[in-house]
Chain A
Amino acid sequence: MTPEERTEYLARQKARTRVIGLALASLAVLFYVLTFVRM
């Protein structure tokens, strides 16, 4: 793997991690709010 490919590889991995993290955090907030709404 060339240095450019490695940079691209890591950049993609980082972006995916961020998006997944954001999605999971949003779901956690949503479920937290839902517990109040459904009470």
Chain B
Amino acid sequence: MTITPATHPMPTEWRDFFALTKPRVMSLVIFTGLCGLLAAPGDIHPVIGFITVLCIAAGAGGAASLNQWWEADIDAKMKRTAARPLPAGRMQRSDARDFGFLLCGFSVMILGLAVHWLAAIILAISIVYYAVIYTIWLKPRTPQNIVIGGGAGAFPPVIGWVAVTDEITLMPVLLFAIIFFWTPPHFWALALFVQSDYAKAGIPMLPVVKGEAATRRQILAYSVILLPVAVAPWIIGGTGAVYGVVALALSAVFLAFSIPVARRRRAETDAMLPEKRLFGYSIIYLFALFAALVADRLLARIGVFA
């Protein structure tokens, strides 16, 4: 049998399917989901815990695939995303869509059958929130897209927590709120130094639509709100002092990094160092904050600082 390129296009490499899932974003999703699971009161069998994290990762990967399927044309216009499998032409668009739906369906079904249906419903809501409400509806329409879209990334610790407790209490809501209020300063710091890319693609990011000054003010506003929200789990008695002190220190540094970003104006040939520093720190901040949450719980379990 003769294979011709016209009838048999080159098969997509498996690495490109993996790239569709946005592995770097997924690492944060897995981490926060795992932390929600480990910090929750109660015990979970390690296999069930593993399946929970696997389903959170698969759901996030599926939603990311659907996001890239929908935004392939936009991604092609931005330098940061032009090398992704779809805009680079290494994959059929329908393959990305099918892969995304498969991962989403698989993750929700398995989570429901193996763990809890409440956790599965929250996972399904988070997928719809990201793939439909954020990607299709809000992102191309409003400069507040990041604020509302931030909710999508805030679900993993809630799912992890609910997988253990099978109920929604104030603590998982606070974990949701932490990521929700963290997202705008994190993304807007990035948007400030890649705004020409967003403008070229026609995405109404805040710096493009409302200008830099408004964006910088809002970065500061969200950083101010983030501090009490991050400390709130300690205040309500949901964590011990270890988490409280670490959250207070990390959030104070976050605020300190956001103040120069809020006060300055871009100069010509600006290296945007304060914005890059805030963006880099914001990633460390979230990892460290959730690590402190788990450390606090583990210390309490072994009787230290209980």
B24 within 8 A of A: no
Contact between chains at B5 and A1 (CB < 8 Å): yes
Q: A37-B45, A37-B48, A38-B114 known; A9 and B13 CB under 8 Å?
A: no
- Please name the 7 residue pairs, one residue from A and one from B, whose CB atoms are nearest each other, closest first: A19-B14, A12-B11, A37-B47, A16-B14, A13-B11, A37-B45, A1-B3
**C-beta contact mask, B2-33 vs A, less than 8 Å → 1, else 0?**
11110010111110000000000000000000
B199 within 8 A of A: no
Could you tell me the distance between the alpha carbons of A19 and B114 in the complex, rounded to whole angstroms? Answer: 24
By a CB distance below 8 angstroms, the chain A residues around B74 are none
> Chain A at the B interface: mostly helix, strand, loop or mixed?
helix
Restricting to A1-30, which residues have a CB under 8 Å from any CB of B? Answer: 1, 5-6, 8-9, 12-13, 15-16, 19, 30
Interface residue from B2, B10, B11, B51 paired with A34 (Cβ < 8 Å): B51
When C-beta atoms are compared, the residue in chain A nearest to B7 turns out to be A1
Q: How many residues of A contact B (CB 8 A)?
A: 15
When C-beta atoms are compared, the residue in chain B nearest to A20 turns out to be B14
A22 vs chain B, min Cβ distance (A): 10
- Chain B interface residue number, banded: 10 to 19
A24 vs chain B, min Cβ distance (A): 12
Task: Please report A residues at the B interface, Cβ cutoff 8 Å.
Answer: 1, 5-6, 8-9, 12-13, 15-16, 19, 30, 33-34, 37-38
Contact between chains at A6 and B3 (CB < 8 Å): yes
Could you tell me the distance between the alpha carbons of A30 and B8 in the complex, rounded to whole angstroms? Answer: 35
A19 vs chain B, min Cβ distance (A): 4
Contact between chains at B4 and A1 (CB < 8 Å): yes
A25 vs chain B, min Cβ distance (A): 15
Contact between chains at B47 and A34 (CB < 8 Å): yes
Query: In this complex, which of B3, B10, B14 has the most chain A Cβ atoms within 10 angstroms of its Cβ?
Result: B14
Could you tell me the distance between the alpha carbons of A15 and B15 in the complex, rounded to whole angstroms? Answer: 10
Could you tell me the distance between the alpha carbons of A12 and B12 in the complex, rounded to whole angstroms? Answer: 7
A23 vs chain B, min Cβ distance (A): 10
Q: A12-B11, A38-B114 known; A5 and B47 CB under 8 Å?
A: no
When C-beta atoms are compared, the residue in chain A nearest to B106 turns out to be A27
By a CB distance below 8 angstroms, the chain A residues around B8 are 1, 9
By a CB distance below 8 angstroms, the chain B residues around A12 are 10-13
Could you tell me the distance between the alpha carbons of A8 and B10 in the complex, rounded to whole angstroms? Answer: 8
Could you tell me the distance between the alpha carbons of A29 and B208 in the complex, rounded to whole angstroms? Answer: 50
By a CB distance below 8 angstroms, the chain B residues around A6 are 3
By a CB distance below 8 angstroms, the chain A residues around B45 are 37
* A-B residue pairs in contact (CB < 8 Å), sample of 9: A1-B3, A1-B4, A6-B3, A8-B10, A12-B11, A15-B14, A16-B12, A16-B13, A33-B47
Interface residue from A1, A15, A37 paired with B13 (Cβ < 8 Å): A15
B241 vs chain A, min Cβ distance (A): 35
Contact between chains at B51 and A30 (CB < 8 Å): yes
Contact between chains at A34 and B114 (CB < 8 Å): yes
